[in-house]
């Protein structure tokens, strides 16, 4: 469902109800069955507002609506206006969607200049700098106000090991990227990169790449070509608009760090269990309601962040099989302590967690006394 859309079909007044949700100065129209619960309505509003269900307060005629009650029993009528209030901190991504944003593609097109002589003048690079790039293997162009990649970059060829283009306004990643065949580290974070503006064929030919950062761009998907980067050890794709991960991610058997937080990911493929080198995973602030059991196969896993998701449980083998796991962030989920204590291997995990906290915070021993990483204590 797109932001602000209703379900599209003509509502049956006997079974379906149309509502207008007032939130931060705008109206969000939604339709759902009359016998839906208030919790169902909150789940429907989550992707439209970025507010997690447990962070939503819905008020109708001055009364707070209760999660377990149906809209019918709450006497909510067709066409009713309901006020949504958000609890601080219980949101995903970049925070609550407070107003409609202009289409990204329209904004970015106006910032990309024509590919004429003027561009070459604007992005020209001194010969001495190119020589330095070739000598050191490091091409450092972060925060240079670039809208396109300077042509001189491609002349470095196999001598380039690191390319840092972060914090610019670059949209296009051309096929010429494949000419940097010895590239080990590619930083493209904080730019204006869109799905169709990346040459994944060129990118996937970088067989020596160990670090790829695409965080803080405008990507909604990752192609199957990602699986060709079999030497990749770190993948940073946070703060995009991704809805899923490709199944080919399972081919990245050398991957140690996966940062995919602050997206709109609703499912994780089972093949994540094939990424047996994973040490750290950050999936916080997404739309996850469950995790695949195969995560329990990641025996090298040490740290997992799952905060601000709709999770109610974890894979039952997580503590038993992930015998190095010592950091688990569950803030903003619905997972309770009572549930965690039922998992096999909980005691060993809790001991590892305590030891880590004691090493890091030995001047605050009492702070490591109880589990306080997001699980409800009730």
pLDDT tens, residue by residue, 227-277: 999 999 999 999 999 999 999 999 999 999 999 999 999 999 999 999 999
- Angstrom distance (rounded) from CA 309 to CA 289: 7
Alpha-carbon dihedral 94, 262, 229, 245, rounded to 10 degrees: -130
- The dihedral region occupied by 332, where left means phi > 0, alpha psi between -120 and 50, and beta the remainder, is left
- The CA distances from residue 343 to 63, 302, 378, in Å, are 39, 17, 17
Q: Is the pLDDT of residue 347 over 60?
A: yes
Share of the chain above pLDDT 90, in %: 64
Q: What is the pTM of this model?
A: 0.70
- pLDDT score at 126: 77
- Angstrom distance (rounded) from CA 48 to CA 84: 12
* CATH numeric code, 16-86: 3.10.20.90
Give first-to-last CA distance, the chain, whole Å.
34
Q: Is the pLDDT of residue 94 over 70?
A: no
Looking at the chain, which runs of residues are DSSP E strands?
Answer: 16-23, 26-33, 56-60, 63-64, 81-86, 138-140, 162-164, 185-187, 211-213, 234-236, 257-259, 280-282, 303-305, 327-329
- pLDDT score at 15: 79
Ordered DSSP codes for 235-297? EE--SS------GGGGG-TT--EEE--SS------GGGGG-TT--EEE--SS--S---GGGGG
Nearest to 149 by CA among 134, 168, 135, 131: 168
DSSP helix/strand/coil, 202 = helix
For residues 7 and 14, the answer to whether their CB atoms sit within 8 Å is no
Phi, psi at residue 83, to the nearest 5°?
Answer: -90, 135
User: What is the distance of C-alpha 346 from the center of its chain?
Assistant: 27
Does 356 or 148 have the greater pLDDT score? 148
Q: Is the pLDDT of residue 352 over 60?
A: yes
| Exposed e or buried b per residue across 19-50, where buried means at least 16 C-beta atoms within 10 angstroms of its C-beta | bebebeeeebebbbbbebbbbbbbbbbbbbbb
Nearest to 135 by CA among 156, 117, 114, 152: 156
Handedness of CA 306, 310, 313, 314 (dihedral sign): negative
Does 86 or 182 have the greater pLDDT score? 182
Fold match flag (16-86 vs 121-368): no
Determine how many CB atoms are found less than 10 A away from the CB of residue 165: 25
What is the side-by-side strand order in the sheet with 234-236?
A: 138-140, 162-164, 185-187, 211-213, 234-236, 257-259, 280-282, 303-305, 327-329
- pLDDT score at 8: 40
Domain boundaries, given as residue ranges, for the chain: 16-86, 121-368
- The CA distances from residue 114 to 125, 146, 154, in Å, are 19, 13, 19
pLDDT, one tens digit per residue, over 297-317 is: 999 999 999 999 999 999 999
- Tokens matching residue 19: 């509502």
DSSP helix/strand/coil, 140 = strand
- Determine the average pLDDT of the residues in 213-240: 96
DSSP letter at 25? T
Phi, psi at residue 376, to the nearest 5°?
Answer: -60, 140
Residue 234: strand pairing partners: 211, 257
pLDDT, one tens digit per residue, over 157-171 is: 999 999 999 999 999
- Tokens matching residue 154: 């491609």
- pLDDT score at 234: 97
For residues 299 and 278, the answer to whether their CB atoms sit within 8 Å is no
- pLDDT score at 360: 72
Query: What is the CATH superfamily name and number for domain 121-368?
Result: Ribonuclease Inhibitor (3.80.10.10)
Lowest pLDDT segment from 115-119, 151-155, 328-332: 115-119
Nearest to 166 by CA among 189, 194, 145: 189
Q: What is the mean pLDDT of the chain?
A: 85
pLDDT, one tens digit per residue, over 190-203 is: 999 999 899 999 99
């Amino acid at each position: 469902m797109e932001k602000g859309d209703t379900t599209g079909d003509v509502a049956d007044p006997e079974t379906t109800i149309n509502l207008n949700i007032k939130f931060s100065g705008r109206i969000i129209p939604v339709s759902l069955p009359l016998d839906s619960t208030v919790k169902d309505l909150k789940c429907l509003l989550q992707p439209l507002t970025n507010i997690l269900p447990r962070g939503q307060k819905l008020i109708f005629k001055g009364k707070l609506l209760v999660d377990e009650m149906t809209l019918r029993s709450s006497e909510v009528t067709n066409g009713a206006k309901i006020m949504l209030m958000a609890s601080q901190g219980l949101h995903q991504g970049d925070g609550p969607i407070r107003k409609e944003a202009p289409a990204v593609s329209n904004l970015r097109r106006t910032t990309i200049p024509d590919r004429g002589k003027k561009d070459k003048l604007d992005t020209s690079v001194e010969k001495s700098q190119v020589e330095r790039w070739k000598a050191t293997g490091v091409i450092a162009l972060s925060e240079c106000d670039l809208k396109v990649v300077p042509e001189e970059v491609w002349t470095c060829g196999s001598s380039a090991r690191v390319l840092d283009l972060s914090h610019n306004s670059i949209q296009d990643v051309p096929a010429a990227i494949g000419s940097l065949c010895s590239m080990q580290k590619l930083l493209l974070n904080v730019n204006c990169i869109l799905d169709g503006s990346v040459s994944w064929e060129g990118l996937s030919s970088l067989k020596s790449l160990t670090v790829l950062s695409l965080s803080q761009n405008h990507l909604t998907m990752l192609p199957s070509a990602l699986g060709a980067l079999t030497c990749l050890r770190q993948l940073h794709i946070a703060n995009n608009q991704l809805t899923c991960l490709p199944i080919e991610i399972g081919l990245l058997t050398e991957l140690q760090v996966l940062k995919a937080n602050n997206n709109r990911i609703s499912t994780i493929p089972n093949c994540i269990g094939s990424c047996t080198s994973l040490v750290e995973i950050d999936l916080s602030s997404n739309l996850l309601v469950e995790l695949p059991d195969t995560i329990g196969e990641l025996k090298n896993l040490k740290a997992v962040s799952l905060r601000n998701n709709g999770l109610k449980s974890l894979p039952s083998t997580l503590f038993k099989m992930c015998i190095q796991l010592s950091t688990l962030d569950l803030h903003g989920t619905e997972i309770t302590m009572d549930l965690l204590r039922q998992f096999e291997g909980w005691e060993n995990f809790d001991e590892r967690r305590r030891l880590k906290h004691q090493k890091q915070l030995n001047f605050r021993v009492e702070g490591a006394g109880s589990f306080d990483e997001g699980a409800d204590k009730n």
